[in-house]
Structure 1
Amino acid sequence: MTKKQSKQPDSDWVCKPLLGWVGSKRRLLPVLLKYTPHRKYLCEAFAGSAALYFGSTFKRAFLNDVDLYLIRFYDALRKYPEQIIERFKQLSDKIDKDSYLKSRENNFLHLENKQKIIDFAAHFWYWNKLAFSSVMHFNKKGFFSVPYRPRKTPLKVNIEQINIIVKKLRNAKLYNKDFREFLSSFLKCNALDRIVFYIDPPYIKTHASYADKWTNKDIEDLVKICTELKNKGAFLLISGNKITADAFVEAGWKIEEIFKLWHCCNPARNMNLKEEFILSSR
């Protein structure tokens, strides 16, 4: 029987993700861990908040995301955690709308030096806590462009959480690639039995930085590459909505469980209760 991730994992390696993220599977984590075998590496093709990596006992990972600013943030945090925390604390006292809008005048299209990198990462973290629904979007000129979300409680830094995240990021390889290029690079890997691939793609017709929207063609390409990895003996865990699940089932994949999650920012509306499908290659 395949050994699964421990239900009471080593607290020195497990924490909540630092960032709020659209589509984050933090609330789905107990279900994901139930189907995640114990292997050396975790590979996330659509990392986002990396909830599975940070919330599990994996100590090494391959983290990919098409969002360049997100990968820049993770890379900066693992290199300069103390300086970023200090800069974030300076920003965290100003959680009113005017201060937030003023902060959006900063441009981080180009990160010319260490101080610019630190300032960018602190602002990215700050914006993530104050932006509407934690949406993270930069326009083509490099300006953050998401509206303000009112907040009454002060921003805090959990040093224990940060230490775990930095430790795990330093053990991870970061990539900023299209999922096709990223996943295809593992097809020639001779150690697939040591990797768990976690695939959590965007929802159809949503903004996902893939030519602005995630399409049926993207799903077709994803199913094809994942099936190739599966046929080579890799273990893959998939989470997605019904459209994604149907495409994988048609290709011979197994649904492990169907789970209901609140989506968007208003759980008072029944229309926001959506089905999330968990599939695996076993």
Structure 2
Amino acid sequence: MSKPIIPWIGGKRRLAKRIIPLFPEHQCYVEPFSGAAAIYFLKEPTEAEVLNDINGELMNLYRVIKFHLDALIDEFRWTLVGRRQFEWHQNQTTEQLTDIQRAARFYYLQKTAFGGKVDGQAFGVQTDRGPRLNLLRLQEDFSAAHLRLSGTVIENLPWMDCIKRYDRPHTLFYCDPPYWGTEGYGVDFGLEQYALMADIARSIKGKMVISVNDIPEMRSVFDGLNIETAEINYTIGGATRSKKKASELIIRNW
């Protein structure tokens, strides 16, 4: 067991204790919307595991951590954490970067951006702790992720294709799609996609767990499946932090 290496909008680290105990026995574990893969990193490994996401930069980061750990760590040897460096990385074109340089750039931006956003990023400011990117812990965090990813297949497929490719009676899919009606993911995800996900959940051979925001539209789309409600506290704001309660739906197809 390790921990997620990057912050991610809508990440499930705080819901892991509710979600993981729901998992049935399985031989193959698949996340079609991996994001920061909080559940994957916090659960016990399975014989076969797959991380998938449509975000190519994210999946490149995981591949580089898996296959080029030392080279990635070297990219941060003389790194400074600050607004100017953040903006420089933001404006940097990626076409002429190596996969290792792209992974370092993506990690830097994701780690130092406010709120774990992928799209519309801004440099995150904190007055109650040090920088989010702790260079002293970086090697330890990357090394733990490297060991966790060593036996994992890393895909970059549309979510439906990923499910079709790995659907077996012994497969467990954990789907954490973008929250409908929110921004910051960098992809469009319309209501019809959730309806398709509900249809797939009802028809696949394997088991599926889905987590979405608790709104009437989601309750309607997934009606007929096993739906539970989970409350969670969110911390919002920058210098003046406050707590906000929200609820999420945890949906199962059994």
Which category describes the TM-score, using the shorter chain as reference length? 0.7 to 0.9
Deviations 1:19-71 (A, max 9, x none): 10001101111111111123222110110001111111124411111111111
Higher relative contact order (CA 8 A, sep 6+): 2
Assess, with a 3 A threshold, how the Cα gap between structure 1 residues 258 and 153 changes in structure 2: closer, same or farther: closer
Identity of aligned residues (%): 22
Q: 1:197 and 1:263, CA in 2 relative to 1: closer, same or farther beyond 3 A?
A: farther
Q: Structure 1-normalised TM-score?
A: 0.78
Aligned CA distance change for structure 1 residues 62 and 263 (closer, same or farther; 3 Å): farther
Does the 8 Å contact 1:255/1:278 carry over to 2?
yes
Contact preservation (8 Å) 1:66, 1:178: yes
Aligned length: 245
Equivalent in the alignment of 1:192: 169
Q: Measure the CA separation in 2 of the matches of 1:249 and 1:223.
A: 6
Aligned residue in 2 for 1:132: 114
What is the alpha-carbon distance in structure 2 between the residues aligned to residue 279 and residue 220 of structure 1? 13
Unaligned runs of 5+ in 1: 1-13, 138-144
* The one of 258, 275, 278 aligned to 2:247: 275
* Aligned with residue 83 of structure 2, among 97, 102, 110: 97
TM-score, scaled relative to structure 2: 0.86
Matched-pair contact (CA < 8 Å) for 1:253–1:280: yes
Partner of 2:141 in structure 1?
161
One-letter amino acid of the counterpart of residue 19, structure 1: I
Q: Secondary structure at the match of 1:88?
A: coil
CA distance in 2, matches of 1:127, 1:109: 17
Deviation, structure 1 residue 87: 1.1
Report the Cα offset of residue 245 of structure 1. Answer: 4.3
Task: State the alpha-carbon separation in 2 of the partners of residues 58 and 121 from structure 1.
Answer: 24
Corresponding residue number in structure 1 for 2:39: 52
Q: Is the CA contact 2:13–2:38 (under 8 Å) kept in the aligned structure 1?
A: yes
Local SS of the residue matching 2:18: helix
Within the candidate set 180, 183, 186, 1:204 is matched to: 180
Displacement of 1:163 after TM fit? 2.4
The answer for the alignment partner of 1:85 in structure 2 is: 73
List per-residue Cα deviations over 1:114-156 (Å, max 9, x = no partner): xx2222211211112211212223xxxxxxx622112562423
Match of 2:49 in 1: 61
